[in-house]
């Protein structure tokens, strides 16, 4: 029976050929193994070289930008671990091959449900234990703020105007936009906030991304079954995805990048068979991806697929069907949201009309890169390598190059082009990514990586070689050690960040906390509140101790100062 979403994936497949202890395995190819070890070693060398370059320009006592702080803090250890994993994997695959791994990938490909369910449950637990159910950065807080407003049936939050100067901890319009009458709205497009809304209403906003992560594993499995003939390919794609810390950590965070990844893969699943109905559905999926938080990630990813559709026979009709699918939600969530933002008066961005807002987006999205940006993108590429299973990016590159050379692999080559377009496009976005785990600007196209790697590992001339065994051990070790290291790094950073508040701020009693943005490290990111200030704790920006005390006497007579440290002061409200 034809599957209406994914087409017919029950075609006959060739017999399994993945090596086992009883099956002959080709002798190791020195060039392949040397390239794998050299790639990982070179990544480590570049990582430490970038570290030296950055530290050379840091003045004693100066605070690094968060992007470079996280890079210097986390990547050297990951680089060393990645090299150790590759070396250990070569030895294990050659001399200590465990029989339990025989046929493991085929079994995962045939029955992935238990693995996917276990991975999803693990991600949900990690969202609580590792990420503390806390939106660490303003990039994460802004859509959650908006989702909580939506959950209350409102398009915006609303606070007393006199509180507003102490409430919005960012430059006007950067993450949150505030009107003079006290209305506050996210500056991001509303798609991800809409996904969060039912979870916010239930008090479980942290659960969305783990569930999206489980759905991503499923769609990767289905796409591999459609695109690749080998019976082990889907198992490889799922395993390599789950074994990459970039996937796992983004799936426990509050970032929208996991949603971008899932919706882009859904888009691909629909355009693979460009029948009119499927193209209209693909356009609808793509339009929601455009509105998740900004349109650039999906636009860059979708360009090769749109060109492929347009250049085929009957391309004009098919492209029209695709674009027709984009129209309704793009108008509602894109243009409509710009109109809502433009109606909130009080800042330059908010007073601008939709046309000016779109023009502003174009200006910030595409600018000529300077030296600092090129250096940041080089660091991003290193992160792309180090946040994947060791060796995965190299194998994916081999798969991508092979797909471009072979006409029969045209659909795989489009995945590779989507990845290249995303990398190239973000060279012209004039920011480093700031906060984030891995190279999050690339994450919307990250699904191409395990699929291209699976295609290479299951190709007839590679499948019986030594390389798949090495990559299987790399994936297993990365799943345990690589993800474990990243979880520890993320948790320790969030612990340190939250520890900037005095312990008294964690009380369930009524509290007002004043945070000094000139103290601590990114302390302004601690200023997170309910959109209507309905919580028992308000976290506000400090204007100085005397000003804060005077404000509390006027707003809450009888309140008392109960705790303080270098970064924040806690007041009890009686």
Question: Is the pLDDT assigned to residue 243 strictly greater than 80?
Answer: yes
Longest CA–CA span in the chain (Å) reads 82
pLDDT tens-place string over residues 383-400: 999 999 999 999 999 999
Question: Is the pLDDT assigned to residue 482 strictly greater than 50?
Answer: yes
Q: Given the structure tokens 């250990």, which residue do they identify?
A: 88
State residue 512's pLDDT score. Answer: 95
pLDDT tens-place string over residues 356-369: 555 555 555 566 67
pLDDT tens-place string over residues 143-187: 999 999 999 999 999 999 989 889 876 545 578 888 888 899 999
Distance CA 440, CA 296 (A): 13
Could you tell me which of 242, 283, 196, 258 has the C-alpha nearest to residue 436? Answer: 258
State residue 20's pLDDT score. Answer: 43
Please, which pLDDT band fits residue 322 given cuts at 50, 70 and 90?
Answer: very high
Distance CA 32, CA 395 (A): 10
Question: Is the pLDDT assigned to residue 26 strictly greater than 70?
Answer: no
Please, which pLDDT band fits residue 565 given cuts at 50, 70 and 90?
Answer: very high
Beta bridge pairs of residue 515: 541, 568
Question: Is the pLDDT assigned to residue 115 strictly greater than 80?
Answer: yes
Domain ranges of the chain: 30-130+206-495, 503-574
**Order of strands across the sheet that contains 157-158:** 157-158, 183-186, 176-178
Please, which pLDDT band fits residue 28 given cuts at 50, 70 and 90?
Answer: low
Distance CA 33, CA 50 (A): 26
State residue 130's pLDDT score. Answer: 98
Please, which pLDDT band fits residue 15 given cuts at 50, 70 and 90?
Answer: very low
State residue 39's pLDDT score. Answer: 96
Please, which pLDDT band fits residue 29 given cuts at 50, 70 and 90?
Answer: low
| Percentage, residues of the chain above pLDDT 90 | 71
More confident position, 31 or 200: 200
Question: Is the pLDDT assigned to residue 9 strictly greater than 60?
Answer: no
State residue 58's pLDDT score. Answer: 79
Whether residue 519 contacts residue 502, with contact meaning beta carbons closer than 8 Å, is answered with no
Question: Is the pLDDT assigned to residue 14 strictly greater than 50?
Answer: no
For the residues 206-217, what does the mean pLDDT come to? 98
For the residues 117-131, what does the mean pLDDT come to? 98
266 phi/psi in degrees, rounded to 5: -60, -40
Token couple for 216: 């991503």
**C-alpha count within 13 angstroms, C-beta hemisphere, residue 438:** 28
User: How do beta strands 511-515 and 537-541 pair?
Assistant: parallel
Question: Is the pLDDT assigned to residue 3 strictly greater than 50?
Answer: no
Question: Is the pLDDT assigned to residue 409 strictly greater than 90?
Answer: no
For the residues 42-70, what does the mean pLDDT come to? 89
pLDDT tens-place string over residues 332-362: 999 899 888 888 754 434 445 555 555 555 5
* Nearest-10 crossing angle of helices 208-227, 257-271: 30
Taken as a whole, the chain contains a residue count of: 574
State residue 508's pLDDT score. Answer: 83
Distance CA 292, CA 329 (A): 11
Q: For the chain, give the mean pLDDT.
A: 89
Whether residue 370 contacts residue 377, with contact meaning beta carbons closer than 8 Å, is answered with no
State residue 365's pLDDT score. Answer: 59
pLDDT tens-place string over residues 540-553: 999 999 999 999 99
Element housing 9 (H / E): none
**CA 53 from centroid of its chain's CA atoms:** 27
For the residues 117-122, what does the mean pLDDT come to? 98
pLDDT tens-place string over residues 276-321: 999 999 999 999 999 999 999 999 999 999 999 999 878 899 999 9
pLDDT tens-place string over residues 218-241: 999 999 999 999 999 999 999 999
**C-alpha count within 13 angstroms, C-beta hemisphere, residue 30:** 0
State residue 197's pLDDT score. Answer: 98
């Amino acid at each position: 029976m034809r599957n209406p979403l994914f087409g017919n994936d029950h075609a006959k497949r060739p017999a399994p050929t993945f090596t086992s202890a009883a099956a002959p395995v080709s002798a190791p190819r020195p060039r392949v193994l040397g390239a794998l070890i050299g790639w990982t070693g070179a990544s480590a060398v570049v990582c430490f070289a970038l570290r030296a370059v950055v530290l050379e320009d840091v003045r004693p006592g100066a605070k690094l930008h968060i992007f470079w702080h996280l890079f210097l803090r986390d990547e050297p250890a990951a680089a060393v671990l990645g090299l150790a994993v590759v070396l250990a994997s070569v030895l294990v695959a050659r001399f200590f091959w465990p029989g339990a791994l025989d046929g493991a990938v085929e079994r995962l490909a045939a029955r992935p449900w238990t693995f996917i369910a276990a991975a999803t449950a693990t991600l949900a637990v990690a969202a609580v234990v590792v990420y503390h159910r806390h939106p660490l950065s303003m990039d994460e807080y802004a859509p959650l703020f908006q989702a909580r407003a939506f959950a209350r049936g409102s398009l915006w939050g609303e606070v007393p105007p006199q509180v507003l100067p102490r409430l919005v901890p960012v430059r006007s319009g950067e993450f949150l936009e505030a009107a003079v009458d006290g209305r506050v709205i996210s500056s991001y497009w509303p798609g991800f906030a809409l996904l969060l809304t039912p979870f916010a209403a239930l008090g479980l906003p942290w659960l969305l991304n783990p569930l999206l992560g489980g759905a991503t594993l499923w769609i990767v499995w289905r796409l591999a079954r459609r695109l690749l003939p080998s019976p082990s390919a889907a198992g490889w794609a799922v395993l390599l995805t789950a074994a990459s810390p970039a996937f796992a950590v983004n799936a426990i965070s509050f970032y929208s990048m996991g949603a971008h990844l899932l919706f882009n893969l859904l888009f691909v699943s629909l355009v693979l068979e460009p029948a009119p109905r499927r193209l209209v559905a693909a356009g609808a999926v793509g339009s929601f991806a455009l509105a998740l938080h900004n349109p650039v990630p999906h636009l860059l990813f979708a360009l090769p697929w749109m060109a492929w559709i347009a250049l085929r026979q009957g391309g004009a009709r098919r492209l029209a069907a695709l674009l027709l699918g984009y129209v309704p939600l793009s108008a509602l969530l894109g243009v409509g949201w710009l109109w809502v933002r433009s109606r909130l008066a009080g800042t330059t961005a908010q007073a601008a009309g939709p046309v000016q807002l779109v023009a502003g987006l174009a200006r910030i999205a595409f600018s000529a890169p300077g030296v600092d940006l090129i250096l940041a993108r080089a660091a991003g590429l290193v992160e792309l390598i180090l946040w994947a299973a060791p060796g995965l990016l190299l194998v994916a590159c081999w798969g991508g190059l092979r797909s471009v050379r072979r006409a029969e692999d045209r659909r795989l080559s489009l995945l590779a082009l989507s990845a290249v377009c995303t990398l190239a496009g973000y060279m012209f976005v004039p920011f480093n990514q700031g906060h984030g785990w891995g190279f999050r600007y690339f994450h919307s196209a990250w699904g191409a990586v395990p699929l291209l790697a699976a295609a290479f590992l299951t190709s007839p001339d590679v499948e019986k070689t030594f390389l798949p065994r090495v990559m299987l051990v790399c994936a297993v070790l990365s799943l345990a050690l690589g993800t474990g290291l990243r979880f520890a790094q993320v948790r320790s950073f969030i612990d340190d960040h939250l520890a900037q508040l005095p312990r008294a701020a964690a009380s369930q009693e009524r509290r007002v906390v004043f945070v000094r943005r000139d103290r601590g490290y990114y302390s302004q990111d601690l200023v997170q509140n309910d959109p209507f200030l309905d919580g028992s704790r308000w976290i506000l920006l400090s204007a100085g101790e005397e000003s804060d005390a005077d404000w509390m006497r006027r707003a809450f007579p009888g309140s008392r100062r109960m705790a303080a440290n270098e970064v924040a002061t806690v007041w009890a409200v009686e």
